[in-house]
RNA sequence: GGAGAGGUGGGUGAGUGGCUCAAACCAACGGUUUGCUAAACCGUCAUAGGGGGUUAACCUCUAUCGAGGGUUCGAAUCCCUCCCUCUCCGCCA
């Protein structure tokens, strides 16, 4: 969430940033108005509470001395009633502010290109070359079927469409990718963690996923637990409600989880095979750092994610995501896209975001410096999601006969060099 | 799932209605003393929000003892609901 004080003191800045995100600016006026009310109520109610505290002391003293305090008690009864009424009004104003605040995204950094849709994203880097064999590239669904390593029909039978099923060497390849990525990131200084895949509502709120995106989440009914849409949620919550040691930054974690997304409202769009799924595997990178370091850390994280693709020799590009296409909590976002020779297009495989203090303010993750408490900056990046990476990998490394050559670095993880 | 115990500041831990709007100790930080180390002594020791201020230091008020309600002039303390942790039993990978 944004800083209420920042909105109060710079409403024009916020309006301008909201416009850049194609959002209406009326919310700013509402917040400012409710904030004025809120502070009025606070002033009034605290004056009354102060009075009550001091008079209660007097009553205690009078009772001890044996004198009659009935009159003061009657007065204070009235004061207490007033306090209760004012507290209710205050809570109402605070709730109104919170409801609006939960709907306002992070402010875009000035280095973010302005634009409305993904078409306005700006290519930032491109690496490698398109697979250019002199034959027709089979797509991953055809390949998977031919080699008997992927069976989307079985996944659909077990769970529904969008739940991939891997088999034999296909399953081993998936496991190899995950292990390779984790080992590489450990080498980059990340602490490996393994964590719950179901989290409580408080954790989802701290990561700013709920209530805004509740429709996109799988939720268990009697326990109100959410299937995580990304490992970002449990990892960010490691330090929730904590004042972190200022000397410890950057604090870096990597971890594998399955990720679950309902993808409500996106039916019929890029639904083939792995292109859009409800469950996928991802190795996530999270970085807690000092505010002044977050944009530098972001470039470092981007390079860590790209390093995986380069080791696997996968053709990719990085785009600087525009204001209109950026994630809710991000102030800046790079998407990494991998090339699919069969689809003849780029597929998003990773997203590296600087969430600045947007999550840490909600999650109360802070550190101390010069006697002051400041909010930590939090970055997240996929390093990477396997599903679309898998598509690019098996498609790009296929032979004219429809076999798949395993990249050198993966061979010690798979235990084989070729599928087919 | 059943039975019991318990949740107090960074940690230990006192506190069953009002000089406790949280004692004491430990840790941490600053200082004094000191050949060095250690010890001793003194001081600081929360978070959030409001108001004031030469808008920095600082002053002041309010809230916070797992969470939320309730009783009361007044709640860490009494009542209700929920959450979590620990121990034992049952079930189970």
Cβ-contact A372, A356 below 8 angstroms: no
For chain A, percent of residues with pLDDT exceeding 90: 81
A71 and A159 assigned to the same domain: no
A233 and A156 assigned to the same domain: yes
Residue A107 in domain: no
Average pLDDT over residues A29-58: 92
Question: Which nucleotide has its C1' atom closest to residue A64's CA?
Answer: B18
The yes-or-no verdict on residue A28 having pLDDT over 90 is yes
3-state SS class at A399: coil
A211 and A69 assigned to the same domain: no
Average pLDDT over chain A reads 93
Q: Which domain holds residue A92?
A: 4-101
| Nucleic strand B within 7 A of Cβ A5 | yes
| Nucleic strand B within 7 A of Cβ A43 | yes
Residue from A225, A236, A289, A280 nearest A256 by CA: A280
The DSSP symbol for A81 reads: H
pLDDT in tens, A151-197: 999 999 999 999 999 999 999 999 999 999 999 999 999 999 999 99
User: CATH number for the domain including A184?
Assistant: 3.30.930.10
Residue from A117, A116, A190, A121 nearest A332 by CA: A121
B8 C1' to A46 CA distance, Å: 25
Residue A113 in domain: no
Question: Which nucleotide has its C1' atom closest to residue A72's CA?
Answer: B73
The yes-or-no verdict on residue A61 having pLDDT over 90 is no
Q: How far apart are CA A256 and CA A306, in angstroms?
A: 17
Q: Total structural domains in chain A?
A: 2
A245 and A311 assigned to the same domain: yes
pLDDT in tens, A211-268: 889 999 999 887 888 999 999 999 999 988 888 888 888 999 999 999 999 987 666 6
Residue A111 in domain: no
| Nucleic strand B within 7 A of Cβ A36 | no
Question: Which nucleotide has its C1' atom closest to residue A36's CA?
Answer: B50
The predicted pLDDT at position A268 comes to 62
pLDDT in tens, A362-401: 998 988 887 788 899 999 999 999 999 999 999 999 999 9
């Amino acid at each position: 969430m944004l800083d209420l004080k920042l909105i109060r003191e710079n409403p024009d800045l916020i309006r301008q940033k909201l416009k850049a995100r194609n959002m209406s600016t009326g919310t700013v006026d509402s917040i400012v108005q409710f904030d004025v009310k809120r502070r009025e109520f606070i002033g009034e109610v605290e004056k009354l509470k102060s009075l009550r505290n001091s008079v209660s002391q007097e009553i205690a003293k009078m009772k001890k001395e044996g004198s009659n305090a009935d009159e003061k008690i009657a007065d204070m009864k009235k004061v207490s009633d007033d306090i209760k009424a004012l507290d209710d009004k205050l809570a109402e104003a605070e709730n109104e502010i919170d409801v609006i605040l939960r709907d306002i995204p992070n402010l875009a950094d000035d280095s973010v290109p302005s634009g409305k849709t993904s078409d306005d994203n700006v290519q930032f880097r491109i690496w490698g070359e398109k697979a250019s064999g002199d034959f027709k590239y089979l797509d991953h669904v055809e390949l998977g079927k031919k080699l008997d390593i992927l069976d989307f029909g079985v996944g659909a039978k077990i769970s529904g469409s969008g739940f991939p099923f891997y088999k034999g060497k296909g399953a081993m390849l998936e496991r190899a990718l995950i292990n390779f990525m984790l080992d590489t990131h450990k080498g980059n200084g990340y602490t490996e963690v393994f964590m719950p895949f179901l989290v409580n509502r408080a954790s989802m709120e701290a990561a700013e996923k709920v209530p805004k995106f509740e429709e996109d989440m799988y939720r268990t009914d009697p326990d109100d637990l959410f299937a995580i849409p990304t490992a970002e949620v449990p990892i960010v919550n490691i330090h929730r409600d904590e004042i972190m040691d200022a000397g410890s930054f950057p604090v870096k974690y990597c971890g594998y989880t399955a990720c679950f997304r309902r993808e409500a409202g996106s039916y019929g769009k890029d639904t083939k095979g792995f292109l859009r799924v409800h469950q996928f595997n991802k190795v996530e990178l999270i970085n807690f750092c000092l505010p002044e370091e977050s944009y530098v850390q972001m470039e470092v994280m981007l390079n860590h994610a790209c390093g995986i693709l380069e080791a696997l020799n996968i053709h990719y590009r990085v785009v600087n995501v525009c204001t209109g296409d950026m994630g809710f909590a991000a102030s800046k976002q790079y998407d990494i896209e991998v090339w699919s020779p069969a689809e003849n297009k780029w597929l998003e495989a990773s997203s590296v975001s600087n969430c600045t203090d947007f999550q840490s303010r909600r999650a109360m993750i802070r550190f101390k410096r010069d006697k002051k408490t400041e909010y930590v900056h939090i970055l997240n990046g996929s390093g990477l999601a396997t599903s679309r990476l898998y598509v690019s990998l098996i498609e790009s490394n296929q032979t004219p006969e429809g076999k798949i050559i395993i990249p050198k670095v993966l061979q010690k993880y798979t235990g084989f060099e070729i599928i087919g």
